[in-house]
Structures are given as C-alpha cells and as structure tokens.
C-alpha cells in the first residue's frame, strides 16, 4: 500500500519535487500507460490544493481519422471525451506543444467548459521523441490559481512521464 500525503505547509517547489518523487516511485517499473496515468492523476489530486479536475488527455486517432485528444485517467467530474486539436486550452497545448497557463478560462477563445465551476487552467504537453503524445490538465475553481512555478513543476512531471504514459 502506498500513502503519499504531502504536508500542507510545503512551498510550491517542494510540493512539486515530492509529487515527482512519488510519481517516479509509482511509475518507474510499471509498463502500463493507463495504470501510470491513473496513479499520477490521483497523486496530483492529493498533492495540489484547490483543484476541481486533474488528469490526462492523450493523442489518438479521431473517428474521422485525424488526431485529436481523447480522455485519459483523471480525478474530478465527468469530462469531455474527445477534443479537437484546434479547440480549447488542451487542444492549444497539444497543437502548439506549449504550456498553457490560463488565469480566466472564460477569457480564453474557444474554451471548452467541461465543468462550469472551472475558472483557471494549466495544461502541459507530454512529449516523446519530439512529438506531443498527450497533455496533463489541471483545472481550478479559483481564478488565477496557477503560477509560473506550478507550470515549471508540472513540466518536470511531464518530462518524467514522457516514456511512461
């Protein structure tokens, strides 16, 4: 049994360091990508305060044949299952390969409201061999919840997971 519980008093950098350590411990010897995404979604939920959604979308063929994002393991309310690469914050991150830190999702052109309670969002691409294979998505009910320090910590997590999800 694993019990990864962060101290509430941790600063952001230490919180992400411990999150990455826990993710490494859980995923280092596990070859199944779905299992790894599920455990890491649960870890993000435990480690990162003030979230209403934490999880993954992965690049997969669309019903029409073009690639799109398809829902992966997550913690939170039911979510959009398929997201075109030209839609929403997740699509923007996947298409551009760039982190998207959005203080107010209602001001983001083309935002997809899977949960009306979401006010801010942080999405980091997961890349393998130079190609985006998915994204890590965090939503919060608080405007401006995410900082550059959160983005940096989530990028480290994405790099750690690049060959494991």
Q: What share of the chain is helix, strand, coil (3-state, %, to 5)?
A: 35, 25, 40
Contact 52, 140 (CB under 8 A): yes
Domain ranges (residues) in the chain: 12-161
Q: Is the pTM of this model over 0.75?
A: yes
DSSP string over 108-138? STT---SSTT--EEEEEEEEETTEEEEEEEE
Contact 44, 37 (CB under 8 A): no
Residue 142 DSSP label? S
Averaged confidence pLDDT in the chain: 94
Looking at the chain, the whole-number percentage of residues with pLDDT higher than 70 is 99
pLDDT value of position 129: 96
Q: Name the CATH architecture for the domain at 12-161.
A: 2-Layer Sandwich (3.30)
pLDDT single digits (tens) 106-159? 999 877 877 778 999 999 999 999 999 999 999 999 999 999 999 999 999 999
């Amino acid at each position: 049994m694993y019990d990864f519980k962060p101290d509430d008093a941790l600063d952001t950098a230490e919180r992400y360091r411990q999150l990455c350590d826990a993710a490494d411990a859980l995923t280092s010897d596990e070859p199944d990508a779905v299992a790894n995404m599920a455990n890491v979604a649960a870890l993000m939920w435990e480690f990162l305060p003030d979230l209403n959604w934490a999880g993954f979308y992965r690049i997969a063929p669309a019903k029409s044949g073009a690639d799109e994002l398809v829902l992966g393991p997550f913690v939170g309310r039911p979510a959009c299952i398929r997201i075109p690469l030209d839609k929403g914050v997740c699509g923007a991150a996947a298409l551009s390969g760039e982190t998207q830190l959005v203080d107010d999702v209602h001001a983001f052109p083309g935002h997809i409201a899977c949960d009306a309670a979401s006010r801010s969002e942080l999405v980091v691409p997961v890349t393998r061999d130079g190609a985006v294979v998915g994204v890590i998505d965090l939503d919060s009910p608080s405007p401006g919840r995410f900082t550059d320090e959160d983005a940096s910590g989530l990028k480290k997590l994405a790099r750690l997971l690049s060959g494991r999800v």
